Structure 1
Amino acid sequence: MNQNCGDVKLSHFLRPFQRLFTGKFRIFVLLTVLAFFLIYVVKMLQSSNSNMELAVNLYEYAENVQNMRYKLHYAVVIDAGSSGSRVHIYTWPPHSGDIRQLLNIKMLKDQFGKDVYEKVSPGLSSCANKPESSINYMLPLLNFAAQHVPVAKHKETPLFILATAGMRLLPLKKQEAILNNLRENIPRNFSFVFSPNYVQVITGKEEGIYSWIAINYLLGKFDHSTSAQPLVAINLNKRITTRPRTVGMLEMGGASMQIAFEIISKYELEELKQRKELHGDVKDLLAEFNLGCLSHDEDHSYLLYVTTYLGLGANVAQEAYTKSLVKEHLSFTSFSTKEPNKHLTVSDPCMVLKSIKNTSIEVEKGFTYEVTLKGTGEWEYCENKLAKLINLEKSIPCDTNFSCPLTRLKETIVSFSTSEFYGFSELWFTMEDVLRLGGQYNYFKFKKAVSEYCKTDWSILQERFRKKLYPLADEERLLTECFKSAWITTVLHKGLRMPKTYKNYKSSLTVNSNQVQWTLGALLYRTRYFPLREIEKQTGVVEQHLSHRIVSSYINHALFLLCMTAVVACIVVYLRHLHQMVNQNIVGRSSVSYTSLLNVKVDTFPIANTRNL
């Protein structure tokens, strides 16, 4: 009996495993394998697409590395300045297609990462008496550009020749003679994209605008596709727009100084218009332009306050100061301004201690003095004397100074509490070449360093110079450092009324390893519509690519749904099969139990014996 029960239990335990090898389960296994195979195929298709795209991208990258010069766009800009001309070659990749972004323009660099450029001297204005020689003057620069721009790109590379101060000083007739010679001869010898209006003399105001565009572009202030920049609300029209805050620009040369900053409020604009002491039309001080590729692009529309202070450049200012110093000396001596050709010895607090400079000073027309200036190295005293020279409290008659720089300086009101400024040219060289303090400006640190420098004996400074301890400076820079540093602080703090504790001013030569050149700003402004071509090209390519991706996406989704349906079907079949197995198992157990009960042997007692009991 025990053996039979054990056999029943063992057969009951093995019966489900015996059913695993039935025909129905083989179907289930086959469907499951098929389902996983289809899923695997779908994944492989997706992976192959991505691998193909990666392979294409890698191929394109390798091709770009090898043929980068042929993939880029090019432009040539020649800066025809007063002392010389310089050619700049700019490049940029295809536009991203995002209208919030401008072209990604960079100066062409060589294999060592240095800017590629060429310069000649003197300036283009030297051709004034022989305008027919203008093309020969430009040939070295044009040939240099032709060599560095791929020949296949010449026919799509624009060429701009923009002249500045030197040409502006020439009579209009001589200007046009020089420009016309270039307009006629350049198309005959070069295949660059060139139009008659691509060569012109720009105004000082335009130069200031281009410098402002250049610095803000290099700082990323025109990129509205990211939110990394501090934002500001522009309230000039009925609609208030929000965009990155721009920075102001200060530039000082030898003859003039320029300033440009953005006006962001209609109240600020109204205050400027209502200023009673303002001479002339306020429009002369304002510039409104759009850098976007769409004329109605408010995000790239800017209104600038921009002006030039002719006569406030470092070299012209030093001449004016020396003249006033001689006049002051004459007022305390027996010399008369009517006694020409007299020799004077004058102490100068704006020169290095014990330095000497011989010069000729024309105090009045026709009356010139030979003057020996002896430096006393008193920087603070120098700064005080310059502050009197630039005194904005007194009125400067325009008949003695035709450009009225001090009057215009007095009218300039800058909101330093809500602005940031960058200084260039002399504002950088004076702080960096000798003192190595270029960059973040700190008046008190600068004052201490330059005061120590100015009261150092000139012979000691000359010895340091011979030992190459001033690698960025020449001897002329060492001699004029005291005056120029005092002039800069005077203009900033007395003229523009910048607080001495102001922390948002930096002098700079480069930004993000790129030279800040007004030519970059000029190119950005003149190529602002170029992105439209790329956007139109990319629109067709993107639409075709999107349609392919949509079809591919639909196919992948259909395959995935088919696989999921197969898996669900397999699960249902398996559950039904399992249910049948369970039911059969229950019926089998019931039959075994019933049969066992029928086969049980029962022991009986004899009736007779029972009765006997």
Structure 2
Amino acid sequence: MDADLARCSQSSLSLVSRLLALKSGRNAGNLNLLESASIRRLIGQDLGPALANQGSADLGCWPGGSPHNTDLLACGLQEEAGKGVLAEFNLGCDVEHTQHVYRVYVTTFLGFGGNMARQRYEDRLFNGTLAKNRLLAAQAGLSEDTPVLDPCLPAGLSDAVVRDNGTLHLRGQGDWTQCQEAVRPFLGLHNGTMSPRGVYQAPINFSNSEFYGFSEFYYCMEDVLRIGGRYASSKYSQAAKDYCATKWSTLKQRLDSQLFSKQADISRLKYQCFKSAWMFEVLHSGFRFPFDYPSLKTAQLVYDKEVQWTLGAILFKTRFLPLRDLQQETLRQSHPGWLRPPLLYNHHLFSLCLLVVVLAILLYILRLRRIHQRELRQAEALDLLWAEEGEALLP
């Protein structure tokens, strides 16, 4: 992380160091879980103690060598054991409110993402084939005419593994069941361990829990299989088997006809068979989810809100700010004192103004009548005077 920050500081971008931070996989898992829980709360669900039974699984699929190449399982569980994989955060309005302190089991499995798993699988296939060729004086995979059969590629697909010391040609066999057996050793469950690389996993009450699967969990189910949403192992495995057994030419034709999602591309079509088997093994053999578990949902959006750890980070950083008070204060400052809404929209004030206007109109009408009556009296007096003067002039 320090090296990445140093490279950023040497770039042409103007960065403020105190505003820049790199999050580890563990922190990203915490923030991801926090955001999904916050979205549920915002749409009206009362979480309460249910947060302790909520979790998320994020199977990463970034290129190898990336510092963010992490796959994580974040589970909202109360757990005393495994202190090294427990994180604690306070969601109260200040540090003194311990009512909303949660302990979360979270860990990352670096190198267990879909792309990294495929790279390790190809490395073993490449090295194993070369060793076997030297032992048997064979030429398997050294030319397109003698490809090595790969059960994790769609039927009929020709592919090549290029390394510094040569190229290995592959031909897709499309056998999903055999692919499962081929990828299972890469979980590192040997020597009696029941978790990838022997990392402690907190026990999960599967009868009272709910999980969301993001990233590769969602892509594997939705991009080409089009069954994203609630996960059912039997439905998923059958769809994966059918896909792997489909001829490569048929898959390309379906892609050209836009029968897959917009995110699907040639790379997704080529390695969907492998990644679907890898996801299945990670979920059931690595994380030990029961095959009949009904409460896992793969998603990219939760209640139409995109789930990313960045929003969780914002929520966590601003949790102590009195946002409602700040909003009201800003509203008060934006209006002059005589235009404040409680005064401006007071119905008593409106009635008073209306009464004043009506009285002014009445007074104006009365004054006009008085002026008119005065003019009439003056006219009558003049007429009478002229009449008297006329009579006096007569002989």
Shorter-chain TM-score: what band? Answer: 0.7 to 0.9
- Give yes or no for the alignment of 1:346 onto 2:148: yes
Q: What is the Cα deviation at residue 214 of structure 1? A: 1.1
* Contact map agreement 1:179 1:200 (CA 8 A) in 2: no
Q: What is the Cα deviation at residue 388 of structure 1? A: 2.5
Question: Which residue does 1:380 correspond to in 2?
Answer: 177
Partner Cα separation in structure 2 for residue 458 and residue 252 of structure 1: 26
Partner Cα separation in structure 2 for residue 324 and residue 412 of structure 1: 28
Q: 1:400-549 alignment to 2 at 5 Å? A: 406-409=196-199, 411-417=200-206, 418-472=208-262, 473-531=264-322, 534=325
The secondary structure found in structure 2 opposite 1:312 is coil
More divergent stretch after superposition (211-220 vs 321-330): 321-330
Partner Cα separation in structure 2 for residue 296 and residue 476 of structure 1: 51
Q: What is the Cα deviation at residue 176 of structure 1? A: 4.4
Residues 171 and 200 of structure 1: CA distance in aligned 2, closer, same or farther (over 3 Å) = closer
- Give yes or no for the alignment of 1:217 onto 2:38: yes
- Give yes or no for the alignment of 1:263 onto 2:263: no
Q: What is the Cα deviation at residue 345 of structure 1? A: 2.8
Structure 1, residues 292-327: CA drift from partner, whole Å, max 9, x if none?
222222332211111211100100100101112223
Q: What is the Cα deviation at residue 391 of structure 1? A: 4.2
Question: Which residue does 1:578 correspond to in 2?
Answer: none
* Contact map agreement 1:395 1:407 (CA 8 A) in 2: no
Q: What is the Cα deviation at residue 199 of structure 1? A: 2.1
What TM-score do the two structures reach when normalised by structure 2? 0.72
Q: What is the Cα deviation at residue 197 of structure 1? A: 2.0
The secondary structure found in structure 1 opposite 2:293 is coil
Residues 309 and 391 of structure 1: CA distance in aligned 2, closer, same or farther (over 3 Å) = closer
Q: 1:213-252 alignment to 2 at 5 Å? A: 213-220=34-41, 229=46, 232=49, 244-252=51-59
Q: What is the Cα deviation at residue 422 of structure 1? A: 0.7
Partner Cα separation in structure 2 for residue 391 and residue 290 of structure 1: 35
- Give yes or no for the alignment of 1:315 onto 2:136: no
- Give yes or no for the alignment of 1:170 onto 2:3: yes
Residues 336 and 416 of structure 1: CA distance in aligned 2, closer, same or farther (over 3 Å) = farther
Q: What is the Cα deviation at residue 393 of structure 1? A: 2.8
* Contact map agreement 2:152 2:172 (CA 8 A) in 1: yes
* Contact map agreement 2:77 2:204 (CA 8 A) in 1: no
**Which has the higher relative contact order, 1 or 2, with Cα contacts under 8 A spaced 6 or more apart?**
2
Structure 1, residues 458-484: CA drift from partner, whole Å, max 9, x if none?
111111211111143112111111000
2:160 is aligned, of 332, 354, 358, to 358
* Contact map agreement 1:355 1:374 (CA 8 A) in 2: yes
Residue type at the aligned position of 2:161: T
Partner Cα separation in structure 1 for residue 111 and residue 97 of structure 2: 38
* Contact map agreement 1:359 1:372 (CA 8 A) in 2: yes
Runs of 4+ in 1 over 3 A off after TM superposition: 168-173, 175-181, 228-232, 243-246, 330-337, 341-344, 535-538
Q: 1:4-153 alignment to 2 at 5 Å? A: none
* Contact map agreement 1:256 1:312 (CA 8 A) in 2: yes
* Contact map agreement 1:427 1:488 (CA 8 A) in 2: yes
Partner Cα separation in structure 2 for residue 272 and residue 295 of structure 1: 25
1:206 is aligned, of 21, 27, 30, to 27
Partner Cα separation in structure 1 for residue 321 and residue 39 of structure 2: 19
- Give yes or no for the alignment of 1:299 onto 2:99: yes
Q: What is the Cα deviation at residue 529 of structure 1? A: 1.8
Residues 244 and 488 of structure 1: CA distance in aligned 2, closer, same or farther (over 3 Å) = closer
Partner Cα separation in structure 1 for residue 74 and residue 163 of structure 2: 34
Residue type at the aligned position of 2:178: Y
* Contact map agreement 1:216 1:246 (CA 8 A) in 2: no
Q: What is the Cα deviation at residue 174 of structure 1? A: 2.7
The secondary structure found in structure 2 opposite 1:200 is coil
Aligned residues: 320
* Contact map agreement 2:57 2:72 (CA 8 A) in 1: yes
Residue type at the aligned position of 1:248: G
Residue type at the aligned position of 1:312: F
Q: What is the Cα deviation at residue 427 of structure 1? A: 1.1
The secondary structure found in structure 2 opposite 1:373 is strand
- Give yes or no for the alignment of 1:327 onto 2:127: yes
Residue type at the aligned position of 2:159: K
Residue type at the aligned position of 1:462: K
Partner Cα separation in structure 1 for residue 59 and residue 136 of structure 2: 35
What is the RMSD of the two structures over their aligned residues, measured on CA atoms?
Answer: 3.3
Residue type at the aligned position of 1:257: D
The secondary structure found in structure 1 opposite 2:103 is strand
Residues 416 and 353 of structure 1: CA distance in aligned 2, closer, same or farther (over 3 Å) = farther
Structure 1, residues 222-268: CA drift from partner, whole Å, max 9, x if none?
89xx8x54653xxxxxxxxxx6545111112223201212232xxx3
Residue type at the aligned position of 1:182: L
Give percent identity, aligned residues only. Answer: 32
Runs (5+) with no aligned partner, structure 1: 1-167, 184-195, 233-242, 274-281, 363-367, 397-404, 542-547, 549-613
Partner Cα separation in structure 2 for residue 229 and residue 528 of structure 1: 18
Partner Cα separation in structure 1 for residue 175 and residue 327 of structure 2: 64
* Contact map agreement 2:25 2:70 (CA 8 A) in 1: no
The secondary structure found in structure 2 opposite 1:296 is coil
Runs (5+) with no aligned partner, structure 2: 62-68, 333-342, 344-395
Partner Cα separation in structure 1 for residue 104 and residue 46 of structure 2: 20
Partner Cα separation in structure 2 for residue 180 and residue 408 of structure 1: 42
Partner Cα separation in structure 2 for residue 453 and residue 387 of structure 1: 20
* Contact map agreement 1:309 1:408 (CA 8 A) in 2: no
Partner Cα separation in structure 2 for residue 378 and residue 244 of structure 1: 40
Residues 355 and 388 of structure 1: CA distance in aligned 2, closer, same or farther (over 3 Å) = same
Partner Cα separation in structure 1 for residue 135 and residue 161 of structure 2: 18
Partner Cα separation in structure 1 for residue 76 and residue 209 of structure 2: 9
1:181 is aligned, of 4, 14, 19, to 14
Q: What is the Cα deviation at residue 330 of structure 1? A: 3.6
* Contact map agreement 2:37 2:51 (CA 8 A) in 1: no
* Contact map agreement 2:53 2:77 (CA 8 A) in 1: no
Partner Cα separation in structure 2 for residue 524 and residue 179 of structure 1: 30
Residue type at the aligned position of 2:268: R
Q: What is the Cα deviation at residue 334 of structure 1? A: 3.2
* Contact map agreement 1:493 1:500 (CA 8 A) in 2: yes
* Contact map agreement 2:126 2:161 (CA 8 A) in 1: no
Larger Rg: 1
Q: What is the Cα deviation at residue 406 of structure 1? A: 3.0
What TM-score do the two structures reach when normalised by structure 1? 0.48
Partner Cα separation in structure 2 for residue 169 and residue 481 of structure 1: 35
Structure 1, residues 19-55: CA drift from partner, whole Å, max 9, x if none?
xxxxxxxxxxxxxxxxxxxxxxxxxxxxxxxxxxxxx
